């Protein structure tokens, strides 16, 4: 078997036309698909073309290229953002982090810090980028905390649009933010004004996943009550967080049950820990308290396992697809609209200048056709502007309530 071959589990009796044996474990074997195709063709069977290997071809190419994922974490200091990221990806991204004192936080502004790490699991490589936002919500005046985060997301879209429009697109790097984990403090009774303002500015640009931090400080009843209030606030202010896709009808019942549990758990109330403890001879990640141990991977203690399953195991690709097909396409449409409007204004200006310098200008058929096309483009731009205003109408209704 050569390296890089695709394999299939087949019955070795396909080599023997006269065999009457059933598919038994002794005759089932893993052999290259190229060998299967050759056997089929040698026997004169034309019903096997070979395009069934396309998924394996795509898989090999994708694994060789590797994958990218960018995760933004937003929340005030002390909510365990760094600990959660280290627990999710079993690493230590914040070895040299410095904790600022109280005096520095009085006029502290939100900044952007990027950390990238290469992860490999079973031959699959992932280039993970964590975008942290130190200083968010730490200052006395948090009025403009959202601006830095929103500008960063826009800048990554703009850079990707520029690379996509360039001549050399073979080595494009995707730094767009695919998911934003927004941390809500456990002591809040619902979403605060700074939370609403931040999510309202980002929800049309990035997939937002709401996380209740340090859930071990709340009872089960308090967690349930806080989740209900957060969902009510999101609905009242029409903030669109990440929506789980519906399961296909052909999915097995186990996957459907897992999907229902993930949907019911949002927003996720999590507990994170870097400490490994031993409970009954078993090593677990947990937090030691005088009254006992909180196991972060125990679903009765925390939604950590469900968050990790959703973010990494089941919905990572869907988060990237929504970023590409929805959020980036909206940004791209706006860029094309602005470019078209600018080109139309420049063309009209040149036309007016040429007519002003020569009073004897005679319109040709080409000139008339260009003017007609310009008028059509102008009408299309007006329609697009009206559609964008309607989409933003819901946000403007709450400006007087949310804006500081």
Structure tokens at 402: 């949310």
Closest CA to 318 of 209, 245, 241, 240: 245
Alpha carbon distance 147, 110 (integer Å): 9
Query: CA Rg, the chain, in Å?
Result: 28
Residue 188 lies in a domain: yes
Closest CA to 68 of 117, 14, 17, 135: 117
Q: Give all strands (DSSP E) within 207-250, no chain letters.
A: 208-212
Residue 117 lies in a domain: yes
Alpha carbon distance 71, 49 (integer Å): 42
Alpha carbon distance 331, 162 (integer Å): 12
Residue 397 lies in a domain: no
Residue given tokens 């999915």 in the structure block: 251
Q: Biggest alpha carbon distance in the chain?
A: 97
Q: Helical H runs in 23-132?
A: 33-42, 54-65, 81-89, 102-105
User: Which 8-state DSSP code applies to residue 22?
Assistant: -
Pairing of strands 28-32, 7-11: antiparallel
Q: Which domain holds residue 101?
A: 58-341
**pLDDT value of position 70:** 94
- Compute the average pLDDT of residues 96-118: 69
Position with higher pLDDT, 310 vs 19: 310
Residue given tokens 């601006």 in the structure block: 147
Please say if the pLDDT value at position 40 is more than 80.
no
Residue 218 lies in a domain: yes
Residue 80 lies in a domain: yes
- Compute the average pLDDT of residues 18-22: 47
**pLDDT value of position 104:** 56
Are 206 and 153 spatial neighbours (Cβ–Cβ below 8 Å)?
A: yes
- Compute the average pLDDT of residues 198-224: 92
Residue 246 in 3-state DSSP? coil
Q: What is the CATH number of the domain that holds 327?
A: 3.40.50.300
Query: pLDDT digits over 364-399, tens only?
Result: 666 667 677 777 777 777 787 777 777 666 555 555
Residue 7 lies in a domain: no
Are 181 and 72 spatial neighbours (Cβ–Cβ below 8 Å)?
A: yes
Phi, psi of 139 (to 5 degrees): -80, 165
**pLDDT value of position 320:** 94
pTM for this model (two decimals): 0.73
- Looking at the structure of the chain, the number of domains it has is 1
How far, CA to CA in Å, does 57 sit from each of 1, 53, 54, 127, 157? Answer: 16, 6, 5, 22, 30
Length of the chain in terms of residues written: 404
Alpha carbon distance 159, 309 (integer Å): 30
Query: pLDDT digits over 220-266, tens only?
Result: 999 999 999 999 999 999 999 999 988 888 888 888 888 899 999 98
Residue 207 lies in a domain: yes
Question: Which neighbouring-strand residues pair with 126?
Answer: 67, 119
Residue 369 lies in a domain: no
Cα 369 vs. chain centroid, distance in angstroms? 44
Q: Which of 61-70, 131-140, 161-170, 350-359 has the lowest mean pLDDT?
A: 350-359
Are 396 and 235 spatial neighbours (Cβ–Cβ below 8 Å)?
A: no
Residue 356 in 3-state DSSP? helix
């Amino acid at each position: 078997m050569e390296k890089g071959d695709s394999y299939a589990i087949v019955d070795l009796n396909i080599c023997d036309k006269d065999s009457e044996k059933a598919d038994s474990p002794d005759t089932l074997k893993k052999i290259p698909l190229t060998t299967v195709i050759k056997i089929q063709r040698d026997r004169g069977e034309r019903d096997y073309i070979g395009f069934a290997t396309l998924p394996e071809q795509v898989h090999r190419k994708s694994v060789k290229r590797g994958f990218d994922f960018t995760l933004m974490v937003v929340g005030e200091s002390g909510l365990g953002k760094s600990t959660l990221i280290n627990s999710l990806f079993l690493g230590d991204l914040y070895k040299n982090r410095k904790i600022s004192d109280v005096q520095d936080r009085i006029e502290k502004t939100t900044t952007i810090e990027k950390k990238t790490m290469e992860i490999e699991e079973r031959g699959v490589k992932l280039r993970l980028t964590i975008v942290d936002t130190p200083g968010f919500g730490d200052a006395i005046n948090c009025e403009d905390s959202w601006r830095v985060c929103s500008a960063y997301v826009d800048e990554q879209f703009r850079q990707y649009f520029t690379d996509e429009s360039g001549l050399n697109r073979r080595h494009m790097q995707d730094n767009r933010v695919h998911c934003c984990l927004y941390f809500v403090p456990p002591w809040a009774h619902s979403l605060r004004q700074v939370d609403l303002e931040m999510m309202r500015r980002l929800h049309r640009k990035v997939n937002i996943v709401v996380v209740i931090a340090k859930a071990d400080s709340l009872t089960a009843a308090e967690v349930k009550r806080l989740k209900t209030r957060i969902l009510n606030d999101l609905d009242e202010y029409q903030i669109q967080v990440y929506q789980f896709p519906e399961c296909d009808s052909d999915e097995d019942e186990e996957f459907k049950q897992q999907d229902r549990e993930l949907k019911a758990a949002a927003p996720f109330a999590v507990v994170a820990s870097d400490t490994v403890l031993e409970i009954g001879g078993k090593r677990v990640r947990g937090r030691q308290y005088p009254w006992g141990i909180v196991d972060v991977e125990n679903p009765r203690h925390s939604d950590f396992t469900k968050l990790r399953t959703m973010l990494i195991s089941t919905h990572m690709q869907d988060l990237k697809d929504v970023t590409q097909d929805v959020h980036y396409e909206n940004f791209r449409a706006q860029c094309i609209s602005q470019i078209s409007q600018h080109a139309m204004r420049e063309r009209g200006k040149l036309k007016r200048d040429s007519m002003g310098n020569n009073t004897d200008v005679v319109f040709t058929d080409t000139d008339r056709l260009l003017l007609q096309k310009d008028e059509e483009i102008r009408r299309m731009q007006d329609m697009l502007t009206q559609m964008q205003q309607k989409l933003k109408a819901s946000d403007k209704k709450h400006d007087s309530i949310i804006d500081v």
